[in-house]
Structure formats: structure tokens, C-alpha cells
Amino acid sequence: MKVLVIGLGGVTNGGKTTLAEKLKKMLPNCDIISQDDFFKPESEVETDERGFKLYDALDALYMDEMVTKIHNWIKSPASSGVVTEEPQSACDNQKNVYILIVEGFLLYNYEPLNELWNRRYFLTLPYEECKRRRSTRVYEPADTPGYFDGHVWPMYLKYKNELEENASMQVVYLDGTKSQEELLSYVYSDIMQELNKLREETGGATLLLCKTGGPRFSVLGRCGFYI
């Protein structure tokens, strides 16, 4: 059995969940763990002097529980409780491979997770587009006036800058303004390359790109780890 752990992080409303769900339908034995499932209840989230609930911070999450769930999945994917579907596009030589996609807004700034990633992706958006998308979403609790500019966007920039300043951390930055088809095409192809490397290291056969009604596959580029 071979296991691949993929991080799909980045900006709020960048398309992380949608991309993860589409990848799950195409990749062999693929499952998703969402960071949003580990938010603390509102009563336990810190409030700053402006009255903003500080949700965009590690302290707002049960990160220990999230790490435990990921480790349990790695130890036994098939019995972890999150493997629920047969992959739609799996080839015969992919059946002994398990892939976990962990999606969330704050994945790579938490040290206990850093050793787990086989691949890190980070979706980005410009300020105006991110704010526009955020305004169309309904949150519970709802965003208070000034919350995006006063908390959400500054925290995104803070954590993104931390990643960019860490030269040892390899992150593939994805332009969230690109179409879902383009993003899916690139990430799927890139993950399949990682699977091939994994199999080559263990003397296995090369995996083939399998597609059943999915998008066209084209390499969008990795120079500088930005696409």
C-alpha cells in the first residue's frame, strides 16, 4: 500500500473545496479531510478589541484533533471512516494507492503537519476578487462590517508571507482566477507525476493518466512554482 498526502490550502473563497471534490472523483482511492470541520465553537474563539472574532488563526481550530485524524487515515486508509467511494477513473495499477487531500485556509503554518505533505498547493486571489467572492457567501456567524479588511485579508497576507519567506518549503502557488478546468487539469497531472515518482522509488509500474469525461490535460507550467 502506498499513501500520498496532498495539501490544498490558500485564500478564502479561492476554490479549494470545489477543486478537492473534483479531484476526489478522478484520483484513485482519494478522500478529503476539511480543516473547516475543526473550527472551535463561537464561544471559544477569541474576540479582539474591535469586536472581531479571530477565526482566521490557528487558535480558532482544534488542530490536535485534525492532526490525529490525518495520522489515523495514513495508518489505515481503508478503515479510517473517510474512504467511501470507488474512484471513477482508476486504472488497475492504481488500486493499491491511497490519496488524502487535506483542504483548508491554514495548513502550512502549523509545524506538526509539515512533515506529512507529499505536495503542497496554495490558491491565491487578488484583493478585489477575494472580497467580491466573500461578499456572496453566507457565514455563521455572519461577517461583521469591516471584518474582511480588518481581519480576514490581513491574516491571509501574514500567513502567505510566512510561506514565501520560508525557502525550504516547496509550495505550488495556483492562480485562483483561472478557470476550474485549468486548475483541475494542472493539479491532476501534477499529482499523477508524484504518484509515478512514488511507484518508481518502490519499483512499481508507471501509472497512466486515466480520464473519463474529465477536462483536457495540459501542463500549465511550474517555473517558480507559480501557475
Q: What pLDDT was estimated at residue 143?
A: 87
Distance CA 31, CA 98 (A): 8
Residue 176 has pLDDT above 70, yes or no: yes
Instruction: Give pLDDT, residue 93.
Output: 53
Q: How many helices (H) and strands (E) does the chain have?
A: 7, 5
Higher pLDDT, 29 or 178: 178
What's the pLDDT band for 200 if we cut at 50, 70, 90? confident
The predicted structure's pLDDT at residue 112: 94
The answer to whether the CB of 220 falls within 8 A of the CB of 95 is no
Confidence (pLDDT) at 171: 95
pLDDT class for 138, splitting at 50, 70, 90? confident
Catalytic one of 36, 48, 64, 149: 36
pLDDT (tens digit per residue) in 7-29 = 999 999 999 999 999 999 999 88
Q: Is the pLDDT of residue 215 over 90?
A: no
The model's confidence at residue 61, banded by pLDDT at 50, 70 and 90, is very high
Nearest to 8 by CA among 139, 99, 136, 141: 99
Provide the mean pLDDT of the chain.
Answer: 85
- Nearest Cα neighbor of 67 from 115, 105, 118, 30 is 115
36 in catalytic set: yes
Cell matching residue 41? 465553537
Confidence of residue 220 (pLDDT cuts 50, 70, 90): very low
Q: Are 185 and 132 in contact (CB under 8 A)?
A: no
pLDDT digits (tens, 9 = 90+) for 84-134: 455 444 455 556 789 999 999 999 999 999 989 999 999 999 999 999 999
Whether pLDDT at 187 is above 90: yes
Burial status of residue 53 (CB atoms within 10 A of its CB: 0-12, 13-18, 19 or more):
middle
Q: What is the pLDDT of residue 91?
A: 53
Q: Which CATH number fits the domain that encloses residue 218?
A: 3.40.50.300
Q: How many residues does the chain have?
A: 227
The percent of residues in the chain predicted with pLDDT above 70, rounded, is 81
pLDDT over 60 at 226, yes or no: no
pLDDT tens profile 42-55: 999 999 999 999 99
User: Which residues have CB under 8 Å from 25's CB, separation 6+?
Assistant: 87, 88, 89
Domain containing residue 143: 2-225
Amino acid at 69: K
CA separation for the pair 122, 120 (Å, rounded)? 7
Total number of domains constituting the chain? 1
